Structure 1
Amino acid sequence: MNIYITSGTFNFMKIKKDKHPAEKILLMQNAETTVLLHETTSKTIFASPRKYEVVGGTGELPESGYVVMNNIPVSEEGRPVFEHRFKNISGFIEKEPGLVALRILRPIHSETYVILTIWEKQTNFLSWKNSSSFEQAFHNNGSNSPVTNSSQKMFSGEAYMTQYTLVKDTDE
């Protein structure tokens, strides 16, 4: 399974999504941009997207909800350890109230992995972020934590988070 991501203006992205109703495409936006995410086992409909391979996850991608993308630059030599540790994260998060879907995305032509979570609403994400499960998953110094002091060599840059709201299809 692959995920392709592209961005642009809302009107252009909406037209692109509407032209392909049989495809699993999510339309999402925040204050700065509009993004389309295409999950497929075949080729994408996008001209020049960011490309990812799904290496882990749970749940079905919904048409509505709150999307959080943790973007994490990982060095070439750090990839195997990073993937192993993040595949274990689903045990910390999959039973969280309001979590709808999780995808661990390996970049095809870059070094920035994306940990994609989709929540029923923003408050579900904020509750998890302030929970002990979040602390265990991301800040525990145990060997199952994907981010530990000893793993700093695996990162090639600063991680950052992007957040979006999924735009429901509406008949206009």
Structure 2
Amino acid sequence: MNFSRHRPLGLLAPALLIVVAGCSSADDSADVAVPTPDAKTARVCRDLHGVLPEKLDGRSRTDPGPRSAYTAGWGSPAIILRCGVVRPPKMIDPKVAEGGDPDALPGGVNGVDWLMEKQGDGTWRLTTAKREAYVQVSLPEGMSAQDATPVLTGLADSIKKAIPRGIASMR
């Protein structure tokens, strides 16, 4: 039998096992898509990253991978913040503004305006409005829209300090 013909496959199997094991998550931390903001938005997002709280709604800060000045996280399962995201389509939907969409609710907490969107999997995504950058906060499974209040309250001062009122890029 010629072992050299079968050896590459034999070596490939342990390598694949290592790669697959490296992708699993025993600690509930997950990689997050990192936004790619324009230069102006990137600056305010970096400012925000520097003033975010170490604790949010009783959860310790545990930033997701890959590490970025545009993402942050708290707890496990994590509350995830992404700065410099694109404007959500529902933000300009007249049905939302009139309160006619039960899965998208406009509101404000401590001087920061938000669009709250219920996702298809039942989780909630919250995006700032009337700021020079869109900041998106994703609540983990099991947290309701009512659970968002202490989260948004905990983020309000940081957002007001780092992200001026205004209109974010339309991208």
Same fold (TM over 0.5): no
**Greater Rg, structure 1 or structure 2?**
2
TM range (shorter): 0.3 to 0.5
In proportion to residue count, which structure has more helix? 2
Taking CA–CA contacts closer than 8 Å with sequence separation of 6 or more, which of the two structures ends up with the larger relative contact order? 1
